[in-house]
Structure 1
Amino acid sequence: MSCNYADGLSPYHDKGKLGLEEKFDKKDDVIAKVRKLASWISESKHVVVHTGAGISTSAGIPDFRGPKGVWTLEAKGEKPNINVSFNDAVPTKTHMALVALVKAGKVHFVVSQNIDGLHLRSGLPRSNLAELHGNMFIEQCNQCDSQFIRQAATTSVGQKCLGTNCPSVRLNGRPCRGKMHDTILDWEHNLPEKDLALSDFHSCVADLSICLGTTLQIVPSGNLPLHTKKHGDCGRVVICNLQPTKHDKKADLIIRTYVDEVMEGVCNQLGISLLDFSSSLDPTKQNGNPISWTIPTSEVKRMRKVYETVCCKGAKKGRQEKKKSPCQKILKFRKNNLLQKSEEMDPSEVKIEDSSEEKMEVKPDTNQAPFKNLEKSEKPEEESEQPPHKIIKVEFKDEVNN
């Protein structure tokens, strides 16, 4: 569980404020706020949801800094009482509501800090999901960067070798020869570049950002919802969390109650049926050929064009915009790194080797250029749920160094 995951991380002394008090809105206020949120979702053109550990606590997975969080109890010399494993946990109402909202075209993208794999197991499409801190049910090749779904949660943390061979082969028939690694980030690791790029693009395009079960302290993921405010009065930020968050003062709406109650109410207001979880549709329970979880490079290119269309209007050809959005300066670095193919691999697509003559094609990300190392400048004011990064403050400079 999350306590085993926390134990697997490298030692890190600054874990933020622990055990902050949880607050609850009055029932009538919650009903009114849920109606307003549903109305805003209907009015918005591009909705992005940012999820943290708080959406998985009802599945039996403890958070880290809540009143009964892993690190809160650790500071008291205690261990959380856990009776469910990552393999046995099932998606919550919030997870299933997000799947229903995505299928209905109401939510366009989900940015998650969670490593529990419940978004994957709920049936949320890869094209609508970025996992910034990794996934216990995903393994990745260290050569071609192809990702595949595991049938059981990994027992390792920190992008360690799992000892299995990459199932990908080049179209010319040559095997990849890479080794599979877990995708779980440790404190010092860089964020997965394609996931971060898509998170940047979608967050900048979004006119409504909804934050569920997160106190937004981990950066850069905690600052992504604020990109919505660049749209002025048309950009809204909604926070649903029991504890205070880093960006409460910048939120247009704050809902203090359980996220399951909020998301079930939103679906009811929009006339969308809440889907039930079915293990038969859980991709981690499927047998047969390995299932790809790789983000196609074409999807990153597509979203870059959308971002440039929506957020870069008025820029003169051959000249930079006078006022750049926060992610544009990162993109200057990524332009020459993110979408280039690795010299170690053939630039063509790869396919999955099967015992039969029929072969399934997948498109791997063939470059894992690192995100820049961010310097810690100050301690956070509040608590966060998912720990894979240092709690630091990002200030974008004119140039981004590799």
Structure 2
Amino acid sequence: MDAGKQQTDQLRQMLDQSRRMVVFTGAGISTESGIPDFRSPGGIWSKNEPINYQDFISSEKTRIESWRRRFALGEVLDQARPNAGHLAVAKLVQRNKAACVITQNIDGLHQQAGVPDDKVIELHGNTHYAVCLECGKRFELVPIRQAFEQKPHAPVCDLCGGMVKTATVSFGQSMPAAEMHAAREQTVNCDLFLSLGSSLVVYPAAGFPEIAKRNNARLAIINRDPTGMDHLADLVIHDSIGPVLAAAVDPE
């Protein structure tokens, strides 16, 4: 038996034995759908410095640049579709094997794959809609984009006049308290923590595998490159997520 098949079989056994799994996903699961990641060489942040939240708040020019970048990425984000990894994760949720999906991603592909909204904990928000930073009103992006293309400007809330921003967490912006609490609770109570496509080097994301292990859960990591938590894992697979997970979830 080759090493790859042996690892896939081991992963399948871990999935079968789990009764309350948590799936944790990072950019690596979505690069297989054509969405570039942020941190890697050639990634988005190597081409544009990330915009700090305080700069967004204090500068009209920076807000315009932030929206310009979002709409420049629009075609890639809007055309991306769930891949085999997203679909396999959705099956784990639908079969009540996975209690939830905790994701660092902002692309909404887990929901597109069939994971219910209430089973997805988005730590960094969602880029497919916007919110008013003052009153919280939600805005769809199509009318904002149409107005921006006519005259580039930073949109404001028609209800309270507050600044409108994509519903994502920027550098320097506080992590969402409710989502962080929910993610921690799910991690404390899981028996298997399955990390997919995250480098696990940046906190608070890197803290979740440690929490899971401290509470006697098993840890499985699938990522193309080594992660900061490989040494803690019960199983590490350095390979593409989609084919490996699909084979483990639905063996032939």
TM-score, scaled relative to structure 1 = 0.50
Whole-Å separation in 2 of the counterparts to 1:69 and 1:28: 33
Residue number among 53, 60, 65 corresponding to 2:34 in the alignment: 60
Residue number among 169, 173, 178 corresponding to 1:194 in the alignment: 178
Residue number among 232, 235, 244 corresponding to 2:226 in the alignment: 244
1:48 partner SS: strand
Q: Which residue of 1 aligns with 2:62?
A: none
> Are residues 262 and 152 of structure 1, via their aligned partners in 2, closer, same or farther at CA, if it must alter by over 3 Å?
farther
Matches within 5 A, 1:2-401: 28-66=2-40, 68-71=42-45, 85-143=76-134, 145=136, 150=140, 162-165=155-158, 181-232=165-216, 235-269=217-251
Aligned 8 A contact 1:58 1:92 in 2? yes
Aligned 8 A contact 2:132 2:138 in 1? yes
Whole-Å separation in 2 of the counterparts to 1:153 and 1:68: 31
Which protein is bigger by CA-based radius of gyration? 1
Q: Which residue of 1 aligns with 2:57?
A: none
Aligned 8 A contact 1:60 1:83 in 2? no
Q: Which residue of 2 aligns with 1:303?
A: none
Whole-Å separation in 2 of the counterparts to 1:249 and 1:54: 19
Which stretch shifts more, 117-126 or 34-43? Answer: 117-126
The amino acid that maps onto 2:6 is A
Offset at residue 154 of structure 1 (A) = 7.6
Q: Which residue of 2 aligns with 1:340?
A: none
Identity %: 30
Offset at residue 181 of structure 1 (A) = 3.6
Whole-Å separation in 1 of the counterparts to 2:164 and 2:129: 10
Offset at residue 141 of structure 1 (A) = 4.3
Offset at residue 207 of structure 1 (A) = 1.2
Aligned 8 A contact 2:102 2:120 in 1? yes
> Are residues 201 and 152 of structure 1, via their aligned partners in 2, closer, same or farther at CA, if it must alter by over 3 Å?
farther
TM-score, scaled relative to structure 2 = 0.77
Aligned 8 A contact 1:60 1:84 in 2? no
2:79 partner SS: coil
